[in-house]
Amino acid sequence: MTQTQHIVFALVEDFTHIAFACAVDPLRIANLISGRPLYRWTYASLDGQNACSSDGTQIAVHHGFDDLPQCDRLFVLSGIGMQAQDHTALLTALRRKDRLTRTRIGALCSGSWVLAKGGFLNGRDAAIHWEYHDSFMEKFPEVNLLRNVFVADAKHPTASGGTATADLMLHLIAEDHGQDLSVAVADQMVYNAVREATAAQKVSLQSRSGMRNPHLAAAITRMRDHLDSPISPTIIAQDLGISTRQLERLFGKYLNASPKKYYMEMRLERARHLLVQTEMSILDVALACGFESPGHFARVYRTAYGVTPMMQRGRLS
């Protein structure tokens, strides 16, 4: 793809600034590294003049929601309090653009709520910041909400916010212009722990769930402290003074996973970080994450991420 792509960011009042920066700067760096105008971007707001982020930063915009330009992609970016806002003008404009053009409409941070309200995500996978998960699932049961950091849906991509926005943009840069440019952009950002779409919002979920249930928090802590020598959920439950069945119910209720599955995802996530961020041998990575043999490690890793540990490391070379 050689033609300059125009991306519009529809900024809802009180949008999240970190997600905004993580969306725009990878595009700027891609242009800088390639030496070509691969991307250009403009901003839109309700009044067509300014938009204010939740930290008080004022952004001068180029368009109003009622005058969105022709573009290749459009991302809705919002932040706190967006449920109480009137999105009629924005949704009207988005529906018109979706009906009359080929613009791919996505959402960043809590912007997925706005798209879901407009019916864009019905029957589709989507991601949103973990803080909105429970209320989102109640409000929009027709959307398949995932706990992923982002969902790279071809028509309506969504990112959960914060640095997950950078993960999505790097993914799109790789789709448009190849993995080498995406890696170079990540290097320029000093971002060497780029996550794939399948990565879950685990840290925030652990924190949130831990505040709600001390047994779950203690179980997750036990797992995190024994990634190199896994202990069975039965033993964890016994140590906590609860039944295995009760432990399974807690994981199912708060994390939508069994203790065994969640534990495996923690170990695989650590393995991926070690492969990406260190020079440890694959054998040492396997042992550090509780796998007794490289063969077993490779099979489980490929099932989870679609690539072997060797292929994962080869992507960085």
CATH match of 5-188 with 3.40.50.880:
yes
pLDDT at 55: 95
Give the contacts of 207 (CB within 8 A, at least 6 positions apart): none
pLDDT at 210: 46
Residue intervals of the chain classified under CATH 1.10.10.60 are: 201-317
CA dihedral 61, 67, 69, 75 (to 10 degrees): 60
**Which one-letter amino acid corresponds to residue 304?**
A
pLDDT in single tens digits along all 317 residues of the chain: 568 999 999 999 999 999 999 999 999 999 999 999 999 999 999 999 999 999 999 999 999 999 999 999 999 999 998 988 999 999 999 999 999 999 999 999 999 999 999 999 999 999 999 888 767 888 899 999 988 899 998 899 999 998 999 999 999 999 999 989 998 999 999 876 666 766 656 544 544 444 468 899 899 989 988 999 999 999 999 999 999 999 999 999 888 899 999 999 999 988 987 887 677 899 999 999 999 999 999 999 999 999 999 998 876 54
pLDDT at 251: 92
Residue 177 contacts residue 38 (beta carbons within 8 Å): yes
The C-alpha atoms of residue 308 and residue 95 are separated, in whole angstroms, by 41
Q: What's this model's pTM, rounded to 2 decimal places?
A: 0.67
Residue intervals of the chain classified under CATH 3.40.50.880 are: 5-188
pLDDT at 166: 95
The C-alpha atoms of residue 191 and residue 185 are separated, in whole angstroms, by 9
Report residue 89: phi and psi, to 5°: -65, -45
**Which one-letter amino acid corresponds to residue 69?**
P
pLDDT at 211: 46
CATH top-level class for 201-317? Answer: mainly alpha
